[in-house]
């Protein structure tokens, strides 16, 4: 029975545009990640061009080592695209015209007002007794075929916007029945603690736990504490992961967690503002509009986003936020005082409940001995109370990194301050 489960998988991507480096292979990472959640280990990823001989060689080699091979790309309509023909031959399958797919492809072209060419029909040819996964995102259907030894080849179209939903919605349920276990992860997003301190803050027992596993990962400006549980079903694994996540939230580090499985601090902040019916405004110097951009990236932010100002020059700091030239002269634009006045100015000028401000040196130029490149003051103002925090990043970091981290930190700083202020007692 056990050996009927998938254990080893390999990923085989086809595409000259990958080999010449015109595009980055995000499919391999996506497929590896998803297969891991099914408890299937990926032992190799390979990329080959549209060359039948090399492709056949690689596919045979992969099938000799793995019991599952997931392929992406090469399903295009052009006649020189022989990936499907080659894979079918290696698996000992003949191709036939899959009428349902043909009808879908014809419909797809009609609905998008494009004209279907003869060779698009080729995309509806399927290997005998293959499982066909219908593609609602493009023309080429995905498919899975199994040989006598029970080894499976899954073929997916190359464009990520087609491959990802097809794999998630149809291929995963198909693979399910041959998965020994399912892995479910929960991610605790932490800001304000480094990776090593998070690790040190974990009790011995949790650090050594093998199921669920608990491990910190370092992302830009934050640490992600990943809890991964393994169980026969997704429900059981999910419950195990949730119990561990709840346990971790009880630890002191729980105070630094801005959310569990939330895409970013901005999402968490917008959600909090919505529930509290509060509006927010930004005043940015070094982040130059990125903070407002991050908040407005979230659909529905218009309910809480008042607006923002980018005051890149001292003149604008005075003109738009009424910051006295004397203040700027006395403290310089990169100071706790100016950050504070910027946040308060944002509330006043844009008529918002919450004001968030950033001012600092993003580099490469600028900075002083006391305030080198990488120094950013962040301020949050709410109902007349304003808090300021100083962020000092290594001056070795580049401009983009300093700006991205400053945005993330400023937003999560606002988030934790508001959480504390709006907590129902």
Using CB under 8 A as the criterion, which residues of the chain lie in contact with a copy of itself when the complex forms?
A: 18-26, 28-34, 36, 41-49, 54, 58, 217, 282, 284, 287-297, 299-302, 305-313, 315-316, 319-320, 349-351, 363-365, 399-400, 403
How near is the Cβ of 389 to a copy of itself at its closest, in Å? 21
Name the one residue in this structure whose structure tokens are 């937003």.
411
Question: Which DSSP string corresponds to 227-290?
Answer: EEEEESSHHHHHHHHHHHHHHHHTSGGGGGEEEES-S-HHHHHHHHHHHHT--EEEEESTTTTH
Nearer to a copy of itself, 25 or 416 (CB): 25
DSSP character for 369?
Answer: S
Residue among 146, 149, 150, 120 nearest 135 (CA)? 120
Q: Which helix (H) or strand (E) element contains residue 97? A: strand 95-97
Q: Which two tokens stand for residue 417?
A: 């301050």
Nearer to a copy of itself, 29 or 97 (CB): 29
Cα torsion angle, 15, 21, 24, 25, sign: positive
Residue among 398, 334, 330, 323 nearest 364 (CA)? 398
How near is the Cβ of 420 to a copy of itself at its closest, in Å? 26
Nearer to a copy of itself, 159 or 254 (CB): 159
Nearer to a copy of itself, 102 or 309 (CB): 309
Rg (CA), the chain: 27
- Per DSSP, the three-state class of 373 is coil
How near is the Cβ of 209 to a copy of itself at its closest, in Å? 19
Nearer to a copy of itself, 30 or 109 (CB): 30
How near is the Cβ of 217 to a copy of itself at its closest, in Å? 7
How near is the Cβ of 308 to a copy of itself at its closest, in Å? 4
How near is the Cβ of 233 to a copy of itself at its closest, in Å? 22
- Spatial separation of the C-alpha atoms in residues 345 and 349, rounded to whole Å: 6
Nearer to a copy of itself, 199 or 247 (CB): 199
């Amino acid at each position: 029975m056990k050996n009927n489960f998938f254990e080893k998988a390999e990923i085989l991507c086809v595409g000259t545009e990958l080999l010449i480096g015109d595009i980055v292979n995000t499919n391999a990472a996506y497929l590896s990640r998803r297969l891991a959640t099914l408890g299937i280990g990926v032992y190799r990823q390979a990329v080959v061009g549209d060359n039948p001989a090399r492709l056949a060689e690689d596919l045979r080699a992969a099938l000799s080592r793995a019991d599952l091979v997931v392929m992406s790309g090469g399903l295009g309509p052009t006649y020189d695209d022989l990936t499907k023909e080659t894979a079918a031959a290696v698996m000992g399958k003949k191709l036939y015209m899959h009428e349902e797919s043909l009808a879908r492809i014809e419909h797809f072209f009609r609905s998008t007002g494009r004209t279907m060419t003869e060779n698009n029909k080729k995309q509806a040819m399927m290997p005998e007794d293959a499982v066909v996964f219908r593609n609602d995102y493009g023309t080429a259907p995905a498919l899975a075929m199994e040989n006598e030894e029970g080894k499976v080849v899954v073929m997916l179209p190359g464009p990520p916007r087609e491959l990802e939903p097809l794999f998630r919605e149809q291929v995963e349920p198909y693979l399910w029945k041959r998965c020994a276990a399912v892995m479910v992860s929960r991610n605790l997003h932490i800001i304000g603690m480094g990776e090593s301190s998070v690790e040190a803050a974990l009790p011995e027992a949790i650090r050594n736990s093998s199921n669920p596993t608990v491990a910190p990962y370092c992302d830009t400006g934050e640490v992600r504490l990943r809890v991964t549980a393994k169980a026969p079903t997704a429900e059981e694994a999910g419950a195990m992961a949730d119990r561990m996540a709840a346990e971790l939230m009880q630890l002191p580090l729980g105070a630094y967690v801005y959310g569990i499985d939330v895409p970013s601090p901005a999402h968490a902040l917008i959600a909090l503002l919505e529930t509290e019916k509060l509006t927010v405004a930004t005043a940015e110097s070094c982040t130059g509009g990125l903070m407002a951009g991050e908040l407005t990236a979230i659909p529905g932010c218009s309910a809480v986003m008042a607006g923002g100002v980018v005051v890149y020059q001292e003149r604008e700091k005075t003109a738009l936020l009424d910051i006295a030239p004397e203040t700027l002269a006395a403290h310089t634009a990169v100071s706790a005082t100016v950050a504070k006045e910027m946040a308060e100015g944002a509330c006043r000028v844009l008529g918002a409940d919450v004001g968030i401000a950033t001012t600092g040196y993003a580099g490469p130029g600028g900075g002083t001995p006391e305030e080198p490149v990488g120094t950013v003051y962040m301020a949050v103002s709410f109902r007349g109370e304003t808090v300021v925090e100083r962020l000092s990043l290594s001056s070795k970091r580049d401009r983009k990194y300093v700006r991205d981290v400053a945005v993330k930190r400023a937003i999560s700083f606002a988030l934790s301050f508001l959480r504390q202020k709006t907590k129902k007692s």
